[in-house]
């Protein structure tokens, strides 16, 4: 076997060896660094949930969760999820994003 063929084989083997750990790291890194919240299997009841529970909903952060609880305390229970449009910071776009994750 010529030196050139051995060099090509050696480079190919090294490429495979070094490529595998990089590929594995790339496939798991986005999952570990993801900041998205896990969507709950059960919808969260906006009339009974505390702020920490509401924060688990994708699209509701700490401020909006506190706003929901404050509005509910001041005005009573929500009659429907659409009533969240009365809460400061809940426009049509945000409401559409979170509605399927909530219930009354």
Looking at residue 81, what is its pLDDT?
A: 96
Looking at residue 2, what is its pLDDT?
A: 79
**CA atoms of 23 and 49, how far apart (whole Å):** 41
**pLDDT tens-digit readout, 6-53:** 677 776 666 655 555 554 444 444 444 444 455 557 899 999 999 999
**Model confidence pTM above 0.75:** no
Looking at residue 4, what is its pLDDT?
A: 75
Contacts of 98 (CB under 8 A, 6+ apart): 57, 58, 59, 60, 84
């Amino acid at each position: 076997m010529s030196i050139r063929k051995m060099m090509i084989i050696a480079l190919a083997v090294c490429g495979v060896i070094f490529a595998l750990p990089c590929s594995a790291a790339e496939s798991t890194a986005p999952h570990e660094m993801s900041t998205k919240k896990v969507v709950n299997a059960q919808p969260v009841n906006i009339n009974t949930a505390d702020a920490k529970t509401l924060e688990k909903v994708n699209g509701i952060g700490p401020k909006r969760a506190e706003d929901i609880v404050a509005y509910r305390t001041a005005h009573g229970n929500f009659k429907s999820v659409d009533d969240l449009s009365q809460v400061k910071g809940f426009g049509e776009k945000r409401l559409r994003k979170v509605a399927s994750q909530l219930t009354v």
